[in-house]
Structure 1
């Protein structure tokens, strides 16, 4: 007799398929394989009691504060523990209940999303001289050569920016920013490079964004998270994709004592509000990518919490971008200058991909392509297969 533990859900599905289980049975059993742990903040106490009883009736559970049954407080936090199968049935029950459970049911549906786009690498190119990593700075003819190289190395997206957003960086005028990126935009348009990769403009200046989109760029990378609705309108007008990032404060202030009550919950609520704003202006969430903004108004502990909980944000039905390339959080864990942070970068990015990220923004395209290829091969290899 031989025994071994099955690790991932995909491994379990492969074993079921190998046992010649009916495809319908594989699907049903797969729903019972993954246990979801969902934190629910600010739930009305009567609703918490109803939710717990309904969960228990299905074999799931809800952890609530002691004394909740007597409704000592008006609202409580709760932890829902359920398989996908149990959650599906619990949502149906909650949809017909009072005390805010109807709205909760709608929110919980997002956790059943299973679609995942292929992982794409976004290469970084900075058309300025003050970005935090010198290896990403390219001007003039060198910029075009670097773009060509990144595409050859495996970049599906090229992110071009003319202003540094490192902590403490100083803003520049719209005219100066446009002057920096204009030659690259013109080269992309003249060489039709947009036919070989998706070009993203890393800017929150409407004039710059519009010039780039008119030059063939197809994505707006907005670190301000749609603070200026003109950027949303431009994405709608040009049919562009839109990356919506969270940042607390501004690049000048964001790392001065960043604070949150619950960083995951607060950023999740931020995304919910901004997505509603985008959809109201005609930008569907299918064209929106979410970026939690590692290092943008977050302490190292905030960053690590977001990486652990990254899969949570899939519930919004958008792709997730991870961008921690060579950032200072690596130095806080193992002291290393910017030039020596590639190993830490790869560790963070692979974990983020495991937790749902499908766009990896990085300075080192070839190295990421290799790391992702090996990671994907390991994830897909049948149990027990030799090298």
Structure 2
């Protein structure tokens, strides 16, 4: 899943793809490098960011989704990255195929109803608090168990809303209200999320906690670090990787997958 932030303030690529021509060029590059889907968002969810209204998000993302859908036709799967049902519905109407909701349906009670009505996949992610406050002293007694319990509760809510079980994807929310050790604990236990029986998405791309490990402050310098998490994720059974840098992560995923397949046949 290639990340396309059409925002002025995303932590790694804010302002780079908020014009239609730049966005289309980037989508073409990501597809050429091996992306299977593109995740388009009009609101930054970096730590400390402010929310963007549904109208503001719609103005940013819909023209780009429409052009991308027209230019790349059926060769592309588009995800609308939003926690507001009005934005998700506009995105689906413009040609998006699935919803990526970082609030797991908690920001907008109509989101789960919309996903059920439109019979589209929805990604349910764990986060602690809101983007504005989530990195202000987050704390867990047992981060893995607490995130699992949260995702179980949101899965139950999705099923109660009549979302098809096959349309639920879960995301432990790396970096969303997590300390460095919390992120490491989640990455070390990805198999426990896979064991819940739903496709798991991993979104560790260029995240700050890896910079603290590698002594790097520039997110774009964390391509190799991200590819390591992708390889580990493949070995743990993760099936979707939300990344900025497609080529390096595609290679990491393909090699890890070949190793994993060999593991099953020997």
Query: Aligning the two structures, in what range does the TM-score lie when normalised by the shorter sequence?
Result: over 0.9
More strand by share: 1
* Residue in structure 2 matching 1:257, options 129, 137, 148: 137
Question: 1:376 deviation in Å?
Answer: 2.4
Match of 1:270 in 2: 150
Quick one: distance in 2 between partners of 1:330 and 1:136?
23
- In the alignment, structure 1 residue 339 sits paired with structure 2 residue 211: no
* Residue in structure 2 matching 1:215, options 86, 89, 94: 94
Question: 1:364 deviation in Å?
Answer: 0.6
CA 1:176–1:136: 2 relative to 1, 3 Å: closer
Match of 2:66 in 1: 186
Match of 1:131 in 2: 10
Match of 1:372 in 2: 253
Q: Which runs of 5+ in 2 are unaligned?
A: none
Deviations 1:56-90 (A, max 9, x none): xxxxxxxxxxxxxxxxxxxxxxxxxxxxxxxxxxx
Is the contact made by 2:234 and 2:257 (CA closer than 8 Å) also made in structure 1?
no
Deviations 1:31-51 (A, max 9, x none): xxxxxxxxxxxxxxxxxxxxx
Is the contact made by 1:135 and 1:363 (CA closer than 8 Å) also made in structure 2?
no
Quick one: distance in 2 between partners of 1:208 and 1:310?
30
Deviations 1:350-371 (A, max 9, x none): 1122112100110011111122
TM-score (norm 2): 0.93
Match of 1:285 in 2: 165
Question: 1:312 deviation in Å?
Answer: 0.7
Higher alpha-carbon Rg = 1
Instruction: Tell me the secondary structure at the aligned position of residue 319 of structure 1.
Output: coil
Question: 1:128 deviation in Å?
Answer: 1.0
* Residue in structure 2 matching 1:176, options 48, 52, 56: 56
Match of 1:311 in 2: 191
Question: 1:192 deviation in Å?
Answer: 5.5
Of structures 1 and 2, the one with the larger relative CO (CA 8 A, separation 6+) is 2
Instruction: Tell me the secondary structure at the aligned position of residue 244 of structure 1.
Output: strand
Deviations 1:325-348 (A, max 9, x none): 001011121111212111111111
Deviations 1:248-290 (A, max 9, x none): 0000000011011111111111111111111111102211110
Q: Which runs of 5+ in 1 are unaligned?
A: 1-121
> For this pair of structures, how many residues does the alignment match?
262
Question: 1:189 deviation in Å?
Answer: 3.8
CA 1:267–1:345: 2 relative to 1, 3 Å: same
TM-score (norm 1): 0.65
Quick one: distance in 1 between partners of 2:175 and 2:80?
20
Match of 1:350 in 2: 231
* Residue in structure 1 matching 2:103, options 201, 215, 224: 224
Quick one: distance in 2 between partners of 1:135 and 1:171?
15
Instruction: Tell me the secondary structure at the aligned position of residue 256 of structure 1.
Output: coil
Quick one: distance in 1 between partners of 2:263 and 2:60?
50
* Residue in structure 2 matching 1:324, options 195, 204, 224: 204
Is the contact made by 1:125 and 1:137 (CA closer than 8 Å) also made in structure 2?
no
Deviations 1:95-148 (A, max 9, x none): xxxxxxxxxxxxxxxxxxxxxxxxxxx000011111111288312211112112
